[in-house]
């Protein structure tokens, strides 16, 4: 890491970078879902709809089928657990970096917990190794299968494990879901097409490529480099939060990529050493972004794009962002799609007549994009609840 004491980056420049790097400013929309995901590093996938809506918000020609092509036909995008034990969609070429830098350690924890629960049920590690091997073999034989289908031919998946032994949450559960989750963390299997429509969170399982043979420091440095290009300038705390790493890992990665220190309104930030020149201010822009959009969820410190007085209205109690309205690099309200398909919006900050017109035009654009599709956010926020009864 290097110091560049003369360089400061104000909030207007941070918002200009957000608009340009996140493909939200006029003229920056991407031609493909792959280009969108590459620009943002990852798309949140806890809510299945977020992947599609986040991509379509930034595509020159919004298309559900194009996102499906990238995910399931061409396999240029892959869905897997990554930062903060969260499910994301990544560019396939970045998957090995994420697996080595982040998911591998999570796999050790997940597998350790599964083994603990198996032992509590009278099973042992030999049982786990056997059921893992049989499940992988069956997925490879079939090419694609649901958990229920695998359970019919892999008896160990039907065994019960004991969760929370000795606590008030103690419960017996089938091993199948947790075994497949662990194998997913290891890269032995990956999530394929959904069971049902693109809005479903239940997926078929397909063969994976196994865990990545990349040194952890090398992988962490590469992930930090990708993220800082998309989200910089950002603080050390932002990087630590986004990745879920220890602070020592974040510092080591910043040092490895030669990150340059800059002054921000809220403290010290970092930029890539070849990314210090300011970006021009974009033309005025508005956006409707979905729940858990990568831009909304990209930083721990959000004061420069999200006013304190409206935060609690747009996030649930667990910190999950609902659908948001944006005007010139700041969150200014929320929106939902009502059961009849109408998009309802609520402004929480004054945006003036120009902002109101731009948001109205963007709302009409989204009305046309969604058409007959009905999307309900998985996480309820105060604004979403309010709009849903008006």
Distance from C-alpha of 121 to C-alpha of 115, rounded to nearest angstrom: 10
In a domain, 319, yes or no: yes
In a domain, 130, yes or no: yes
Tell me the pLDDT tens digit for each residue of 127-148.
Answer: 999 999 999 999 999 999 999 9
**Rounded to an integer, what is the distance from CA 43 to the centroid of its chain?**
4
Q: Which domain holds residue 316?
A: 306-387
Residue 210 pLDDT greater than 80, yes or no: no
Tell me the pLDDT tens digit for each residue of 175-186.
Answer: 999 999 999 999
Averaged pLDDT, 303-307: 97
Distance from C-alpha of 188 to C-alpha of 212, rounded to nearest angstrom: 11
- H helix or E strand, kind and range, residue 355: helix 352-370
Catalogue the E-assigned strands of 159-315.
Answer: 160-163, 171-174, 189-194, 203-207, 260-264, 267-271, 286-289
**Domain end residue (candidates: 144, 178, 207):** 207
Which pLDDT value is given to residue 170?
86
Residue 388 pLDDT greater than 90, yes or no: no
pLDDT band at 248 (very low <50, low <70, confident <90, very high): very high
Q: How many of the other CB atoms lie within 10 Å of CB of 219?
A: 21
**Domain end residue (candidates: 150, 180, 207):** 207
Give how many domains the chain has, as a whole number: 2
In a domain, 258, yes or no: no
Could you tell me which residues come within 8 angstroms of residue 150 by beta carbon, excluding any fewer than 6 positions away? 135, 138, 139, 142, 157, 176, 180, 205
Question: CA angle, 249 as apex, 4 and 247 as ends, to 5°?
Answer: 80
Q: What is the CATH number of the domain that holds 181?
A: 1.10.10
pLDDT band at 213 (very low <50, low <70, confident <90, very high): confident
**Domain end residue (candidates: 160, 181, 207):** 207
Tell me the pLDDT tens digit for each residue of 265-279.
Answer: 989 999 999 999 999
Q: How far are the Cα atoms of 112, 135, 194 from residue 125, in angstroms, in the given order?
A: 10, 15, 31
Tell me the pLDDT tens digit for each residue of 65-86.
Answer: 999 999 999 999 999 999 998 9
Could you tell me which residues come within 8 angstroms of residue 86 by beta carbon, excluding any fewer than 6 positions away? 44, 45, 46
């Amino acid at each position: 890491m290097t110091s560049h004491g003369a360089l400061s980056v104000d909030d207007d420049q941070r918002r200009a970078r957000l608009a340009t790097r996140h493909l939200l400013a006029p003229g920056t929309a991407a031609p493909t879902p792959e280009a969108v995901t590459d620009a943002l590093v990852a798309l949140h996938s806890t809510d299945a709809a977020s992947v599609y809506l986040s991509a379509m918000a930034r595509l020159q020609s919004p298309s559900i089928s194009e996102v499906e092509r990238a995910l399931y036909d061409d396999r240029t995008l892959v869905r897997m657990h990554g930062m903060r034990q969260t499910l994301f969609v990544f560019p396939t070429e970045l998957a090995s970096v994420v697996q080595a830098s982040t998911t591998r350690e999570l796999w050790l924890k997940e597998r350790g917990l599964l083994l603990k629960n198996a032992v509590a049920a009278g099973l042992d590690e030999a049982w786990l190794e056997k059921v893992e091997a049989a499940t992988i073999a069956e997925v490879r034989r079939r090419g694609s299968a649901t958990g229920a289908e695998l359970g019919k031919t892999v008896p160990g998946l039907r065994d019960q494990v004991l969760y929370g032994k000795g606590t008030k949450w103690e419960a017996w559960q089938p091993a199948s879901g947790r075994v497949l989750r662990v194998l997913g963390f290891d890269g032995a299997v990956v999530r394929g097409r959904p069971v049902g429509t693109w809005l479903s969170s239940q997926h078929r399982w397909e063969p994976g490529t196994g865990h990545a043979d990349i040194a952890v420091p090398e992988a962490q440095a590469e992930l930090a480099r990708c993220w800082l290009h998309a989200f910089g300038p950002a603080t050390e705390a932002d990087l630590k939060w986004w990745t879920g790493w220890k602070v020592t890992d974040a510092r080591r990665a910043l040092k490895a990529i030669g990150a340059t220190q800059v002054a921000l309104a809220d403290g010290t930030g970092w930029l890539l050493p070849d990314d210090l020149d300011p970006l021009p201010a974009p033309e005025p822009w508005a956006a409707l972004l979905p729940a858990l959009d990568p831009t909304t969820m990209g930083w721990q410190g959000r004061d420069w794009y999200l006013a304190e007085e409206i935060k609690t209205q747009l996030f649930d109690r667990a910190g999950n962002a609902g659908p948001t309205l944006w005007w010139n690099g700041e969150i200014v309200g929320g929106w939902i799609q009502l059961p009849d398909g109408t998009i309802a919006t609520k402004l929480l900050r004054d945006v003036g007549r120009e902002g109101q017109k731009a948001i109205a035009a963007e709302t009409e654009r989204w009305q046309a994009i969604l058409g007959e599709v009905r999307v309900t956010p998985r996480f309820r926020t105060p604004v979403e609840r309010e709009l849903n009864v008006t």
